[in-house]
């Protein structure tokens, strides 16, 4: 028990046996006899809890002897329980009340002021008579500290969130820095390799020019023999000139034969094919075509060049110039995207790097390859859907071919023609009819398309399915399950949506769904 609790809570004087014995008010609180007499005059309510008590005389209330005994013990030890101010660093109150010259030992939380016992009797009424909420000093301090600390805690939480956001940005920037650093490294490697090739071609060119000089020497020898024959004035001179000419022709013919053998296909040491490290062969001004490529080198080269140019192109040669089709390369989400071939695309500008379609197509994995579909409705692009195929099945290969357009037909500019059970179990959206756009056609482009077996899957959200093998006229049609269908299986599943399922759900809810179009499509090449 604190020392102040052995004194009167109203006058803050120490209890004694003569003038200020503690009187129990019946509510559990005790006040000195002198203060009880004042309380009887002012309303007979406990100054701390405002509980009324019935008496006309302070002496009729029982004395709180344990409290009196405690005050006596403290007085014997020389410790005071009066309102004499302790050292300022150890004050157990809020100072002295200017109005009543008593210690401010309590706080009215409603009025937000410190009060003494006299203030409670005069100015602060507790419920039900008033709305004041009075707390002892210790509880009041705890409440005030919590109220003052909460804004600081809230600001600390906000700053922690800000710090997390900044750290997230720092991580993203570090990842971007590493990506660009890797790109720069790959470009430096390519540049170094190309410089080595340039030097080797220069060395070979000099060797060829040396042999050109040799040929010029052979020609000069033959011209000299011809001049000697022409200038002969006698039979003897002519015979001598002819003999010299024959020897010159014999040696020159042998040398020329050896040089022709050196120049024959497969034996040409200075073939323009160049060493294997050469990546690109310049076939026209500022236009590159992939020839013999190492897949890993190609990936780094294309990624690096995409940092430098906005677009790159691939060319797919069909039957002559009229059968040539063009496709675009782009970088999206750190993946190289090979867009569908377009027969109506004009040739790119001379400054655009152009690769062969087969060279880039060879980078697509044979198993578990991914393709993308860009959806459009309402007059604008709505999102990209990425589909990862299962294994290397005929259905998977067919889907990839129709996304790239490599065999002719493609999903480019086709429409979604049906959406069923939207909002319920097993909702599905269908498209892929590249012939009629209504689900009645869309023939397959590969052989041996079957059902069941490796195509048997649970009907889960995001699963990509095809038409049954008996429907030969519409095997290219595909569907995407948008919501789970418990206890149901499908026997034509060949892939799953890895990104963009929300875009497909939004497309299925669009009315009419036939306005949803595949604006673009193609294949994904992972680095």
Cα distances (Å, whole numbers) of residue 213 to 207, 219, 220, 248: 10, 10, 10, 17
**pTM of the full predicted structure?**
0.47
Task: Give the pLDDT score at 45.
Answer: 82
CA angle, corner 363, sides to 361 and 367, nearest 5? 95
pLDDT over 90 percentage in the chain = 37
* Residues 6 or more apart whose Cβ sits within 8 Å of residue 9: 29, 31, 47, 48, 105, 117
CA angle, corner 120, sides to 117 and 126, nearest 5? 140
Residue 110 CB-half CA count within 13 A: 11
Domains of the chain: 3-132 (3.30.40.10), 143-263 (no CATH), 279-363 (no CATH), 364-525 (2.40.100.10)
Tell me the C-alpha distance between 451 and 386, whole Å. 23
Tell me the C-alpha distance between 200 and 261, whole Å. 22
Nearest partner of 476 among 402, 413, 527, judged by Cα: 402
Number of H helices, E strands in the chain: 9, 21
Nearest partner of 525 among 281, 197, 302, 288, judged by Cα: 302
Sign of the C-alpha dihedral computed for residues 107, 113, 118 and 123 taken in this order: negative
Tell me the C-alpha distance between 226 and 220, whole Å. 10
Tell me the C-alpha distance between 8 and 26, whole Å. 16
Tell me the C-alpha distance between 223 and 166, whole Å. 83
- Segment 490-501 shows an average pLDDT of 96
Instruction: Decide if pLDDT at 340 tops 90.
Output: yes
Per-residue pLDDT of 411-453, as tens digits, reads 999 999 999 999 999 999 999 999 999 999 999 999 989 999 9
pLDDT over 70 percentage in the chain = 85
Comparing 336 with 129, the larger pLDDT belongs to: 336
Tell me the C-alpha distance between 505 and 424, whole Å. 12
Bridge partners (DSSP) of residue 481 are: 428
Per-residue pLDDT of 37-89, as tens digits, reads 888 887 788 887 878 888 888 888 898 888 888 888 777 765 444 444 444 44
Tell me the C-alpha distance between 68 and 64, whole Å. 6
């Amino acid at each position: 028990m604190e020392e102040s609790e052995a004194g009167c809570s109203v006058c803050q004087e120490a209890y004694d046996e003569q003038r200020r014995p503690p009187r129990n008010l019946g509510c559990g609180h005790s006040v000195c006899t002198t203060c009880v007499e004042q309380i009887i005059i002012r309303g007979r309510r406990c100054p701390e809890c405002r509980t009324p008590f019935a008496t006309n005389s302070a002496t009729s209330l029982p004395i709180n002897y344990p409290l009196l005994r405690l005050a006596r013990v403290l007085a014997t030890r020389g410790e005071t329980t009066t309102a004499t101010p302790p050292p300022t660093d150890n004050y157990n109150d809020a100072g002295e009340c200017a109005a009543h010259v008593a210690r401010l030992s309590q706080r009215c939380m409603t009025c937000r002021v410190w009060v003494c016992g006299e203030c409670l009797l005069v100015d602060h009424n507790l419920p039900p008579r008033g709305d004041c909420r009075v707390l002892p000093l210790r509880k009041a301090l705890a409440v005030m500290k919590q109220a003052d600390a909460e804004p600081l805690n809230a600001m600390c939480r906000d700053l922690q969130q800000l710090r997390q956001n900044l750290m997230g940005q720092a991580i993203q920037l570090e990842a971007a820095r590493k990506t660009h650093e890797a790109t720069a490294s790959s470009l430096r490697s390519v540049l170094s390799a190309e410089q080595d090739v340039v030097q080797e071609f220069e060395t070979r060119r000099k060797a060829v020019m040396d042999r050109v000089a040799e040929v010029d020497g052979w020609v000069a020898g033959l011209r000299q023999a011809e001049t000697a024959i022409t200038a002969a004035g006698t039979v003897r001179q002519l015979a001598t000139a002819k003999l010299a000419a024959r020897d010159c022709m014999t040696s020159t013919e042998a040398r020329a034969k050896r040089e022709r053998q050196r120049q024959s296909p497969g034996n040409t040491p200075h073939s323009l094919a160049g060493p294997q490290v050469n990546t690109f062969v310049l076939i026209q001004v500022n236009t590159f075509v992939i020839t013999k490529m190492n897949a890993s080198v190609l990936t780094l080269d294309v990624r690096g060049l995409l940092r430098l140019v906005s677009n790159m192109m691939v060319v797919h040669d069909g039957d002559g110039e009229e059968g040539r089709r063009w496709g675009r390369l782009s970088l999206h989400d750190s993946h190289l995207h090979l867009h569908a071939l377009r027969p109506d695309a004009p040739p790119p500008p001379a400054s655009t790097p152009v690769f062969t379609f087969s060279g880039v197509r060879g980078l697509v994995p044979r198993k578990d390859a991914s393709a993308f579909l860009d959806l459009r409705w309402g007059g604008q692009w709505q999102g990209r859907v990425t589909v990862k195929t299962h294994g290397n099945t005929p259905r998977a290969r067919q889907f990839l071919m129709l996304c790239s357009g490599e065999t002719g037909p493609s999903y480019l500019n086709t429409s979604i023609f049906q959406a069923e059970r939207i909002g319920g179990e097993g909702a599905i959206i269908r498209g892929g009819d590249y012939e009629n756009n209504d689900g009645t056609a869309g023939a397959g482009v590969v052989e041996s398309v079957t059902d069941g077996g490796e195509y048997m899957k649970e009907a889960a959200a995001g699963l990509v399915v095809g038409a049954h093998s008996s429907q030969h006229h519409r095997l290219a049609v595909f569907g995407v399950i948008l919501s789970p269908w418990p206890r149901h299986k499908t026997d034509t599943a060949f892939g799953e949506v890895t990104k963009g399922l929300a875009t497909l759900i939004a497309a299925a809810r669009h009315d009419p769904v036939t306005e949803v179009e595949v604006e673009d499509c193609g294949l994904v090449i992972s680095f």
